[in-house]
Structure 1
Amino acid sequence: MGKKIEFKGSISESIDEVQLTIPKDVDVGWKFWKKRRNVVGLLVFLGFFMSNSLRVNLSIAVVVMTTSTGNVKPEFDWNSDLRGVILGSFFYGYTATQFLGGYLSSKIGGKKVLGVGIGATALLTLTTPLLTRTSVYLLIFLRIVMGLFEGVTFPSTNSIWANWAPPTERSKLSTLPFSGSTAGAVIAMPLSSIIAARLGWPAIFYINGLMGLIWFAAWMYFISDTPRDDPWISVSELEYLEKTLCKIENNKKNISHPWKEMLTSVPVWAIFVAHFCGMWGYHTMVMQLPLFIENVLHFEIEKTGFVSALPYLGLTIVMVLSGHIADYLLSNNYLSTTMVRKTLTCASFIGQTIFMTLTGFMSTSVAVILCIIISFSIDGLSTPGYVVNYLDIAPQRASILLGMGKTIATLPGIISPTVTGYIVKNKTAEEWRIVFMIVSIIYLFGAIIYGTFASSKKQKWADESYDRTKINDNIL
């Protein structure tokens, strides 16, 4: 027998205050792989682990490539402005395909989009050493093309979770791409430092590229877009997922979207603003932290990699824990979904405002590193906050919304390294203080906007039947 669950808070807001009769979920104990949605989650985690490794490896490599060691001159004489352009070039392509990723996922499914996005990036990564030594302009072009492929990846996940994530597991599963991404940085940064010091910087790209191709093969073989298409899923799990997700079979080719309503929705723009502000701080740290540690703290390359990874380790831990906490609060009806999303996002942004400001004024290396670790770790609270909010307000259109949101949110990846390059001319602590203060102000602005205007209530235009109703009304 199934058990009757009355969804309150998030679920009631997302499913229009109705009661659902849901079959009991299968208990697999410690054998997590017996639930296919856990296998999907694991490979999504590993996919974004590889995705971010492929992206951030240049942040470590560029330090080795442009820094003299002893009497050995650097291989490349790139000034701070050019380094900013090189590091930011990835995001020109990354920004351009965010919306495309969401759109393609809604048409052909997230599996193909995510797989090709990461697989192609891995293949291109293998060519990085050759093209870099040929011309810096070829390196910039390559990074733009890599960004084009990786740009479709994050928006594709909402299409995947719309089919695989039950409402009471939504926060936990939806955080996996982000925790995988940060875990990738945790491993990639120190590992890249060791590889560069022992094998030379080109080996960073060869090893990462090969690992990405191995993941691509596993993803395409083991994963299906929907539970019904999965040859390994159990009957009980299939029934559970289709009931909890209120699955309605639709012809994806005929799906249209209420663009005016989506683009004029206040809750949508609250998420967009939060996403932009959150990513400004994140991209600033991802691309500039190794340079800051080398410029101001004067650490050796191997130590730079390990220290740069510590904030990502804290972020990964907090991100995973906060996803479970959010689902616990929702499943036990302690808080509404809106309160959970606002509380986690605002706590994250305000906490980062405080610790980023302190970073600029600390006088010792230990204090500076501690503030950065705490600030970056707190960022993990926002993932089950504003990031999951796309699924709350419009589950069936979440991939499109995330594509639009990520387009806006990747602009800091272009702007931030350029701004930092112009500010940090002499590599002084005072110049870096300005960079941290800009990050703090943007975080505070995001907390104010999201805390005031965000909502998790499912929007009237969110259902795919909305367009059909409008068409019928116009005909009548």
Structure 2
Amino acid sequence: MSLPNGCSINTAHSDDSEDSEPLIENDAVPPQCCSARLNLAILMFFGFSVVYGLRVNLSVAMVAMVNGTEPKPAPNTSVFHECPLPSGNNNTSDTFPQPEGVPQFSWDSETQGWLLGAFFFGYLCTQIPGGYLSGHYGGSIFLGMGVLGTAALTLLTPLAAQWGTRWLFALRALEGFGEGVTFPAMMAMWARWAPPLERSRLMTLSGSGANFGAFLALPLTGFICQTLGWPAVFYLCGGAGCLWAVFWFIFVSDDPRTHRRISKEERDYIITSIGPQGTAHGWSVPFLSMMLSIPLWAIIVTQMCSNWAYYTLLTSLPTYMSNILHFDLQSNSFLSALPYLGGWLFSTLSGVVADSLIERRVFSVTVVRKIFTLTGMLLPAAFLTLVSYAGCNHILTVTFLTLSTTTGGTSASGVFINQIDIAPRYAGFLLGITNTFGTIPGVVAPIATGYFTEDHTLAGWRKVFWVAAGINLTGALVFTLFGSGKIQPWAVTEEERAEAERKNRRTITV
């Protein structure tokens, strides 16, 4: 069902064809409701909810695991209680009683920073191999096994904690090793499943499971810690991941061509609209051309900058709520979760708006990606700066932190899906590359936060927020100058080149 000009019926318009007519009539598109592609997005949504729950549960459980044993400052200092307790008789961060027999540990701030960052040491190792293999073989097995492996290892967390910090560090690194393949596998699957004019909404819906998982896991972790003890957190979260994997392997297929329940109408629509870019890449990839690609480096740098602020809050916000604002564990976990509720809603909505802007030809793909990236980085930077001036005002601090992560959700329709714009066929591999670099802040940010905040002062946390805001501004500038939404020359398939040559010959003949 290609058009006479060689374009597929649902191809997103390039930046060079702003004045061309729409390529598809609305009645030619099979409805998304109950479709195989929407079901895939929903399953991915819950999968990423699980893996982010597995990733952040230690952030809240840590508050209970080290309760009452971490050395306090000397009595003649006012560091630990620099801010007053929030109103309410139950708000105190001094005691977090655990059920009898549940162990607790004397881990200082630096040790906690290393343990919170341990996940990302493993996460760094499998991004690129996971993206490469997913692009060649298909992503369903890698995404499914990544979640299942991480969940199974999570079940061993209480045992590793009792054996010592080295064992816990190694276990968390192994969890990251297993989870590292999940996002590249997702991108590789959407390269075969997502019609160009539906990319933003399908990918942001599935990826927003990360924010939803953090939102759900943080308060549940606090509640479970207080009622059942912190070990139960890891048993329940790990069990949820194993259960999800059962549904994934039953209902998901790598490609619409092999899906057992998809309608013929939807299958033909997806295959035709994506075209040659929806096929697996071979064993060889244009690695040198990729590494010399300015738009790819713009994605890399921008994701690193954006992730610094995101991972800083993801891993360290519960500690800030406890040590500085002195919320009790249940209040701490609920308030730490609020920013991710907003991020989930904004990222999902941004996908719908982005697709609408592209489909209606209001802006080119490049402009849309830059608008959402700028919005998702400049506004969070502004709110993080305001947090540093909010001091001990509990209401303002929680409000600004919530708005920072909420507005950051709009970048989901910007830089975070830009790989599939510049090279759909290699999108999984590219995401592996960009996410490898983007994970470096996940390793460094918690450690840096631990060093900045050793004395638990507002001044130390102010440095944390200022650094995150400044790095965000840098990323926004880089993507504005060098980002692109065009398919790069090294990503064009032989079939597309041949079609372009035929078009040129017809044009010359006419």
TM-score in same-fold range (> 0.5): yes
Picking from 307, 323, 348, the partner of 1:279 is: 307
Picking from 130, 151, 165, the partner of 1:136 is: 165
Aligned residue identity for 1:311: P
Following superposition of structure 1 onto structure 2, how do residues 258-269 of structure 1 map, counting pairs within 5 Å? 258-269=286-297
How far is 1:19 from its partner? Answer: 8.2
1:453 aligns with 2:478: no
How far is 1:410 from its partner? Answer: 0.1
**Deviation by residue 1:165-210 (Cα, 9 ceiling, x = unmatched):** 0011100111133310100011100001000000000000000011
User: Match for residue 211 of structure 2?
Assistant: 182
User: Match for residue 374 of structure 1?
Assistant: 403
1:356 aligns with 2:384: yes
Aligned residue identity for 2:439: T
Picking from 184, 195, 198, the partner of 1:155 is: 184
Q: Aligned partners of 1:129 and 1:3: how far apart in 2?
A: 59
Following superposition of structure 1 onto structure 2, how do residues 28-43 of structure 1 map, counting pairs within 5 Å? 32-33=33-34, 35-43=35-43
How far is 1:11 from its partner? Answer: 2.5
Following superposition of structure 1 onto structure 2, how do residues 79-90 of structure 1 map, counting pairs within 5 Å? 79-90=108-119
Moved more, 226-235 or 2-11: 2-11
User: Match for residue 51 of structure 2?
Assistant: 51
User: Match for residue 30 of structure 2?
Assistant: 26
- Number of paired residues? 464
Picking from 315, 321, 324, the partner of 1:296 is: 324
Alpha carbons of 1:103 and 1:230: their partners in 2 closer, same or farther (altered >3 Å)?
same
User: Match for residue 199 of structure 2?
Assistant: 170
User: Match for residue 129 of structure 2?
Assistant: 100
| 8 Å CA contact 1:171, 1:388 repeated in 2 | yes
User: Match for residue 437 of structure 2?
Assistant: 408
User: Match for residue 60 of structure 1?
Assistant: 60
Alpha carbons of 1:222 and 1:8: their partners in 2 closer, same or farther (altered >3 Å)?
closer
Q: Aligned partners of 2:17 and 2:255: how far apart in 1?
A: 21
User: Match for residue 12 of structure 1?
Assistant: 14
How far is 1:136 from its partner? Answer: 1.5
| 8 Å CA contact 1:190, 1:306 repeated in 2 | yes
Picking from 442, 450, 464, the partner of 1:435 is: 464
User: Match for residue 474 of structure 1?
Assistant: none
Q: Which runs of 5+ in 2 are unaligned?
A: 69-93, 499-510
How far is 1:111 from its partner? Answer: 0.1
Q: Aligned partners of 1:275 and 1:7: how far apart in 2?
A: 32
Larger Rg: 2
| 8 Å CA contact 2:96, 2:329 repeated in 1 | no
Aligned residue identity for 2:360: N
1:338 aligns with 2:342: no
Alpha carbons of 1:468 and 1:169: their partners in 2 closer, same or farther (altered >3 Å)?
closer
Aligned residue identity for 1:377: T
User: Match for residue 256 of structure 1?
Assistant: 284
Q: Aligned partners of 1:251 and 1:185: how far apart in 2?
A: 32
| 8 Å CA contact 1:257, 1:467 repeated in 2 | no
How far is 1:243 from its partner? Answer: 1.0
Q: Aligned partners of 1:24 and 1:398: how far apart in 2?
A: 27
| 8 Å CA contact 2:8, 2:275 repeated in 1 | no
| 8 Å CA contact 1:360, 1:433 repeated in 2 | yes
Q: Aligned partners of 2:227 and 2:109: how far apart in 1?
A: 26
1:125 aligns with 2:154: yes
How far is 1:464 from its partner? Answer: 3.7
Q: Which runs of 5+ in 1 are unaligned?
A: 470-476
Alpha carbons of 1:204 and 1:211: their partners in 2 closer, same or farther (altered >3 Å)?
same
Alpha carbons of 1:295 and 1:242: their partners in 2 closer, same or farther (altered >3 Å)?
same
**Secondary structure of 2:487 counterpart:** coil
Identity %: 38
**Secondary structure of 2:486 counterpart:** coil
Which has a greater percent of helix? 1
Alpha carbons of 1:463 and 1:436: their partners in 2 closer, same or farther (altered >3 Å)?
same
**Secondary structure of 1:360 counterpart:** helix
User: Match for residue 74 of structure 2?
Assistant: none
In the superposition, the TM-score normalised over structure 2's length comes to 0.86
Q: Aligned partners of 1:82 and 1:249: how far apart in 2?
A: 46
Q: Aligned partners of 2:51 and 2:359: how far apart in 1?
A: 32
Picking from 425, 444, 454, the partner of 1:396 is: 425
